[in-house]
């Protein structure tokens, strides 16, 4: 039996993945493999984002500020780090699109990057409201099921709240994906400096999440 690779070997292997952008390649290869085994992306997409925290210290070894990390406020709490954006299939919960940004980038700014181009329905929380122009550029026929957003001057009606609750039943599926990412794979902290390294890490995790979500179906195919 081969010994477990030491820390230096693992570090060199990680650098090899990063330098060749193999996290994205791995994510794409898993998507092709799953499609070949009958797990195709449907016509519905759920978009969402989560903050991946980083240490609050912004200095690196050269004593200069790390400009690739930013802070953002969510509710009444401040967060510092990066943001993981994903587009998830509304039926299978498989991740079909991924984007990594600094934490202060608003969710709606990358919505176009999370669409696969053949959607007929879109779900998202109120952060994605009012993005009809993006949907029109993607496909004018896409039905927008993002949450209705209230404001100080326009409070949500009871009908609006009822519609939001109904939309949430579908939109909640993306929370299961984030649960796997953060609880089962432990991806809750930014581990590296630089957007490329962390983006590579995110894509690799999303590839593994898709394999986990497809595990039962793949096992059935293997014994068939």
Q: Is 97 within 8 Å of 207 (Cβ atoms)?
A: no
pLDDT digits (tens, 9 = 90+) for 169-212: 999 999 999 999 999 999 988 888 778 888 999 999 999 999 99
pTM attached to this predicted model: 0.85
pLDDT digits (tens, 9 = 90+) for 31-49: 999 999 999 888 999 999 9
129, exposed or middle or buried, with CB in 10 Å at 0-12, 13-18, 19+? middle
Domain at 41-59+66-218, CATH from 3.40.1170, 3.30.420, 3.30.230, 1.20.120: 3.30.420
Distances 204 to 14, 23, 28, 29, 209 between C-alpha atoms, Å? 11, 5, 10, 11, 9
pLDDT digits (tens, 9 = 90+) for 95-154: 999 999 998 899 999 999 999 989 999 999 999 988 888 888 877 788 999 999 887 788
* Cα–Cα distance measured from residue 26 to residue 28, given in angstroms and rounded to the nearest whole number: 5
Q: Where are the domains of the chain?
A: 41-59+66-218
């Amino acid at each position: 039996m081969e010994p477990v690779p030491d820390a230096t070997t693992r570090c060199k292997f990680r650098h090899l993945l990063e330098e060749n952008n193999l996290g994205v390649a791995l994510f794409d290869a898993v998507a092709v493999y799953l499609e070949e085994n009958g797990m195709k992306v449907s016509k519905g997409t759920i978009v969402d984002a989560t903050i991946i925290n980083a240490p609050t210290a912004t200095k690196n070894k050269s004593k200069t500020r790390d400009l690739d990390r930013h802070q953002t406020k969510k509710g009444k709490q401040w967060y510092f780090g990066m943001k993981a954006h994903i587009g998830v299939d509304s039926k299978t919960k498989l991740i079909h699109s991924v984007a990594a940004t600094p934490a202060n980038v608003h969710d709606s700014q990358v919505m176009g990057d999370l669409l696969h181009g053949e959607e007929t329905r879109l779900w998202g929380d109120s952060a994605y409201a009012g993005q009809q122009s993006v949907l029109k550029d993607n496909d004018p026929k896409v039905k927008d099921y993002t949450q209705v957003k209230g404001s100080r001057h326009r409070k949500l009606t009871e009908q609006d709240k009822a519609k939001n609750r109904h939309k949430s039943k579908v939109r909640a599926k993306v929370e299961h994906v984030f649960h796997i990412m953060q609880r089962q794979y432990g991806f809750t902290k930014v581990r590296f400096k630089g957007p490329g390294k962390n983006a590579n890490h995110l894509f690799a995790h999303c590839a593994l999440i898709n394999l986990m979500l497809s595990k039962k179906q793949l096992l059935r195919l293997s014994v068939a």
